[in-house]
Each structure stands twice: as structure tokens, then as C-alpha cells.
Amino acid sequence: MNQEVKFLGIAHTSFKTVPEVPRCAKDCTEESTVTFYPEYSDCLVGLENFSHVFVFAWMHQSDRDLQLVRPHFGAAKKDIGVFATRSPARPNPIGMTLVKVNKIEGITLYVTGLDLLDGTPIIDIKKYDTTLDTPDM
Amino acid sequence: MNQEVKFLGIAHTSFKTVPEVPRCAKDCTEESTVTFYPEYSDCLVGLENFSHVFVFAWMHQSDRDLQLVRPHFGAAKKDIGVFATRSPARPNPIGMTLVKVNKIEGITLYVTGLDLLDGTPIIDIKKYDTTLDTPDM
């Protein structure tokens, strides 16, 4: 019933160990790159027209058996489910980060705000769409 | 190098065929449910505190070999890369939809706005976070 997720590219950041990765993505202000495998180059066509995209990563060093975590925000000192958090530990360690697109050169995407460990596999990119990605208030 | 994505639950919607699924998620105003497998029930703890969550699906009927698509928006009559779209056809057919949380009963999540084919496997849920999921303007 399960399926295979394909690794499409690799994140290159300055964060070489888990403690170095910013806890809040908005604190990540450096430029990083994603290098895609050449066979996926067509997926990038037209991406230069977007100021922001979501980067989806496979957080390969995360615990996949953890379902409850103690959040580092809020006053409540109790565990909550990983779906109610953005914890990297979850059954499918999919990370999602909204980043600023700086430029694209060939199969390399230059972005600002990528809060990933250096070497993390990338599994998807999606255009940011204000209409879809903001709740109706 | 690739990894296995686990199916955690199933979407139940009124859309029984692909043409029935709304092309724009914001046009999807009906209530739907996601039923999780009992072994993932702890992941849901605390989710009732959020008005909106992102639902991540594995769009199991989508073409995984398509890299260029003709968007149905805009005047340009040319193909663009799937990363620049929200097309279900992409190397990893991960769908992401922001939905309104109505209630949670046991292992069933009741939501409004789930634009998925009935029976689509669910692979993750993430809390919506205005700070993380809105670009700095």
C-alpha cells in the first residue's frame, strides 16, 4: 500500500549539524541552494516567475516513530501530536519551507530562508499561491 | 537512495472521478473527512486547537513521469515545469491543501475544503502557521 518517494535533488546549506539549523524558519536569512538531478531539469521551467516557492524536503535524520512531541513554544508543558506541530519527527518526515527565490541557473535554485540540514534530499517544489495558501478570514 | 512514504489514512470526499474534483481548491466548500489508521491516533492530539491545517496527500492516480504541463490559467499558451504549478502530475505526487478544521472525533478529522479524489491516501497533516506560511512583504 505504501509508495516510493523519489529524491529529486539535494539542499546545500551552511547547517552541518542538527543544532545549527534555526528552530524558526524565519530566522534563516542566508542564501542556500538546491541542486536538482539533471533528469528533473524540465520541472524548473517557469519557476523564475515566482518570488516565493514552497520547498519540500525529506528530513532523512528524523525519527519516524515519534507521534507525540513537547513543543518549545507556549506555556503548556505537555506533549502534543506531531500533526499539531512543524516538528521534523513525524511518520513521513516531510519538511515544508516557504523560501524566497533569488535566481535559477541551470539545475540550481538559489533561495533565501532554507532551514534544512546540509545534504537533505528534496522531494518537491510548489509555487506559492496566496489564494490557496492563506485561510479565508 | 529513495525512501518509502507511509499511508497514514484515507480521504473521504464526494468526488468519485477526477473530473469531479474542483480545479481550484477554494471552490471546494463541502465538508469531507480524513480517517486515520488507529496506529497513528496520537499524531492528532492537540489538533483541535487549530482553525486551519495543511493536508498532504499522495495523489495516487497522477502521472509521475510528466515534468512539463500546460496550465489552465494565464494567456501564455506554453508548457511550464510542474514545480511552477500545483498540478497533481509531478515526480512525487504530493498534494497540499489548506483546509478548515471543523471537528475531530477519535481518528476522524472533519474538514471543509478538501479537493481530493475519494479514497486518496493521506501522508501528513501540518498546523497552519501564518508566520511561516506567508512571505515577508
The distance of B17 to chain A (nearest Cα, Å) reads 20
Chain B hits for A50, CB-CB cut-off 8 Å, are 84
Q: Categorize the per-residue pLDDT at B24 as very low, low, confident or very high, splitting at 50, 70 and 90.
A: confident
Mean pLDDT of B52-57: 98
More confident residue, B125 or A137: B125
Share of chain B above pLDDT 90, in %: 85
More confident residue, A24 or B133: B133
A71 part of a folded domain: no
The distance of B16 to chain A (nearest Cα, Å) reads 20
B79 part of a folded domain: no
Q: Each residue of B63-107: pLDDT tens digit?
A: 999 999 988 766 667 899 999 999 999 999 999 999 999 999 999
Determine the pLDDT at residue B73.
65
Determine the pLDDT at residue A74.
63
Bridge partners of residue B75, in order along the sequence:
none
Q: Any idea what the CATH number is for the domain that residue A105 is in?
A: 2.40.30.70
B47 part of a folded domain: yes
* A111, A100 contact by CB (below 8 A): yes
Residue B113 belongs to domain spanning: 9-61+93-127
Global pTM value: 0.95
**SS3 letters for chain B?**
CCEEECCCEEEECCCCCHHHCCCCHHHCCCEEEEEECHHHHHHHCCHHHCCEEEEEEECCCCCCCCCEECCCCCCCCCCEEHHHCCCCCCCCCEEEEEEEEEEEECCEEEEECCCCCCCCEEEEEEECCHHHHCCCC
Give the total number of structural domains in chain B: 1
* A71, A109 contact by CB (below 8 A): no
B43 part of a folded domain: yes
Determine the pLDDT at residue B52.
97
Query: Which set of grid coordinates corresponds to residue A114?
Result: 532554507
When the pLDDT of each residue in chain A is averaged and rounded to a whole number, the result is 93
Chain B hits for A90, CB-CB cut-off 8 Å, are 43, 124
